[in-house]
Structure 1
Amino acid sequence: MTALNDYRLLGRSGLRVSPLALGTMTFGQDWGWGADEAEAGRIFDAYLERGGNFVDTSVNYTNGASERIVGKLMDGRRDRIVLSTKFTMTRVPGDPNAGGNHRMNMVRSVEQSLRQLGTDRIELLHLHAWDDTTRPEEVLRAVDDLVRAGKVLYVGICNTPAWRVAQLQTMADLRGWTPLAALQIEYSLVERSVEHELMPMARTLGLGVMPWSPLGGGILSGKYTAADLDAQGEREVSATRKGVIASSGLLNETSLRIADEVTAVARDVGATPSQVALAWTLLNPAVAAPVIGARTLDQAVANMGALDVRLAPEHIARLDAVSRPAPIFPQRFVGQPMVQQLIFGGAAVAQRL
């Protein structure tokens, strides 16, 4: 994989997408730290000029500014872009129906996205997070109606437990409703817990994984040090980028140790730490396209350079050793030598996926 125009299929769909998706949560300055419209345009142009075709946003990013900017930037080249957006998050604080996964919010959000984006269709609509209140039948039938109406072409899901995603996919298959094609989840060298269930589920059920925050909120870029750690037991509460990362719990001694190893590997291969971190996510066979975000053109171009990075087996082993998550039940139990002996009787059995 060396270029954005070395396309791959999104999950079990026939949709062809670039191996890196352009994330646009940084488009607009309404949240205090994004790119202005001019810089967003330079980032967008650089991505498309290199063959990129996969653009990700959300109805609520930067209070709608992200979609409005993307809509303007797509003018004259709309048909070559695979547009991904999301619904769920509230757009009107205090209105109980302005957020969630129910049909009313889904339809209103899609209509608002279409207006903000200045388009008549959304190639990939993601449910942004499971709300634990809406029945799965309501979600699936409502989104299937949007597909049948031509307003949505494919469906994805984000930030939802593996068992629920599996239930939704099975239900869609059995009832002939639109299946899920994509899964957006947090995945990076500092967040590998999704490897326990979400990643193998996605590969088995045909969902292309779009890792968000593949740089661990910037931690893997090497920008943070021990001096940035908050006092014991405290979390910074602010709308700054550092505040968001600190409140997530990812800014800790373990993640900084992982970041140090990423930096060391980057020196060995002649790349930036961010490029190494992104190249590592692309090694997972379930991954379709990590979502890369940037506030400046230089950051965006550097991130796209991750496609040129080749990690040797010894580098992969070092990164895996420093970041490997501890096994959980039932893998922790089933993986024990005694249990494996009982299952296979000592015979060597090759696994086929």
Structure 2
Amino acid sequence: MEYTQLGRTGLKVGRLVLGTMNFGPQTTEADSHTIMDAALDAGVNFFDTANAYGWGENKGRTEEIIGSWFAGGGDRRDKVVLGTKVYADMTADGNPWPNHDRLSALNIRRSVDASLRRLGTDRIDIYQFHHIDRNTPVEEIWQAVDTLIQQGKILYAGSSNFPGWKIAQTNEIARQRGSYGLVSEQCLYNLFERRAEMEVIPAAREYGLGVIPWSPLHGGLLGGVLKKEAQGGRRGAGMAAERLAAPGVRDQIQSYETLLDKHGLAPGEVALAWLLTRPGVTGPIVGPRTAEQLAGALRALELELSEELLASLDEIFPGTGPSPEAFAW
């Protein structure tokens, strides 16, 4: 496993990030533990979760599953770079009182303590803002974060789903306060969805943030959906089905799958390997439901994509290009 530095931190992480959003809702606790064991054995040492994972009445369940895995011993906690997130309404009835969601200082402090209890640990390595909060001053957010860092409850702060301007604003205010600032950004980024290249990734690179793409297969669209449909007689489901129904998308995906079939390559593995060639990317988040899916994702680390193949992928999925060049007449 190749390791890289996470943004401007001293943390070394593998080139894939284990996303745990399926632990609980779709994957049993025992199977989740098996996946985490296999990931760590393979050198995947960055585990990403969120306080809301588990969803619905089971919000927080995913953190509890990770916590029970940590409790198994073997220095597991010390071997893992652990990231979780704050923003969601965590009240049982889904009807929050004021300051029980988003990024108020009060909710940040409450949420950290609750996540630490569920995770069974004394610290969160990367505490991430799941979304922007337009109603809370950035100064207030950093005041809460700085206090938690001083208390040893978190090491660093990261962002998720932030536009480029918000990354800049948040880090400039951190600089004014003498705070450390954001160290990572989780963004929607894959072969099909490349808008992050215009503003988000340039901003992240300018401020020294590690980029951690989520949905690298775009909800299964890039995972060989048409071939699976033909073999199993089933149409794509969820996001993949919605995307395939859009004008031109089915032809685009067919071109993608045909190209990779000629090279004898698996679409899902190529989609992950392509992200690993992108400047600024630390590692994509993979969210396996089974150990077999994790093994497939790990094979992407062994792929070396030729310049010819990369150029062909750009033809099928042309990027928007960074600004301001992309707006040139």
With normalisation by structure 2, the TM-score equals 0.89
Point out where structure 2 has 5 or more consecutive residues left out of the alignment. 231-235
Specify the code of the residue in structure 1 equivalent to 2:219: G
Inter-partner Cα distance in structure 1 for 2:241 and 2:131: 21
| Alpha-carbon RMSD | 2.2
Deviation at 1:244, TM superposition (A): 5.3
1:214-251 deviation line (CA, Å, top 9, x unaligned): 110111002258989xxxxxxxxxxxx9345667x686
Instruction: Determine what percentage of the aligned residue pairs are the same residue.
Output: 40
1:153-176 deviation line (CA, Å, top 9, x unaligned): 011001112111101112212321
Deviation at 1:98, TM superposition (A): 2.2
Q: Is the 8 A contact 1:275 1:303 kept in 2?
A: yes
Q: Is the 8 A contact 1:225 1:256 kept in 2?
A: no
Q: Is the 8 A contact 1:22 1:55 kept in 2?
A: yes
1:124-158 deviation line (CA, Å, top 9, x unaligned): 01000002111111111211111111000011001
Structure 1 residues 98 and 265 mapped into 2: Cα distance closer, same or farther (>3 Å)? farther
Specify the code of the residue in structure 2 equivalent to 1:52: V
Structure 1 residues 243 and 263 mapped into 2: Cα distance closer, same or farther (>3 Å)? closer
Specify the code of the residue in structure 2 equivalent to 1:55: F
Query: Which residue number in structure 1 is paired with residue 139 of structure 2?
Result: 137
Question: Which moved further from structure 2: 165-174 or 197-206?
Answer: 165-174
1:11-54 deviation line (CA, Å, top 9, x unaligned): 1111111110000001012xxxx111122122111111111210
Question: Which moved further from structure 2: 106-115 or 322-331?
Answer: 322-331
Q: Is the 8 A contact 1:184 1:210 kept in 2?
A: yes
Deviation at 1:297, TM superposition (A): 1.2
Inter-partner Cα distance in structure 2 for 1:330 and 1:105: 38
Structure 1 residues 164 and 65 mapped into 2: Cα distance closer, same or farther (>3 Å)? same
Q: Is the 8 A contact 1:71 1:119 kept in 2?
A: yes
Q: Is the 8 A contact 1:159 1:184 kept in 2?
A: yes
Inter-partner Cα distance in structure 1 for 2:36 and 2:253: 28
Query: Which residue number in structure 2 is paired with residue 64 of structure 1?
Result: 60
Query: Which residue number in structure 2 is paired with residue 297 of structure 1?
Result: 291
Specify the code of the residue in structure 1 equivalent to 2:6: L
Inter-partner Cα distance in structure 2 for 1:89 and 1:246: 27
Structure 1 residues 256 and 114 mapped into 2: Cα distance closer, same or farther (>3 Å)? farther
Q: Is the 8 A contact 1:127 1:156 kept in 2?
A: yes
Aligned match for 1:7, one of 3, 6, 9 = 3
1:198-223 deviation line (CA, Å, top 9, x unaligned): 11111111000000001101110022
Query: Which residue number in structure 1 is paired with residue 41 of structure 2?
Result: 49
Query: Which residue number in structure 2 is paired with residue 183 of structure 1?
Result: 185
Specify the code of the residue in structure 1 equivalent to 2:3: Y
Alignment partner of 1:276 is 2:275: no
Aligned match for 1:242, one of 225, 230, 237 = 237
With normalisation by structure 1, the TM-score equals 0.83
Alignment partner of 1:37 is 2:39: no
Question: Which moved further from structure 2: 290-299 or 37-46?
Answer: 37-46
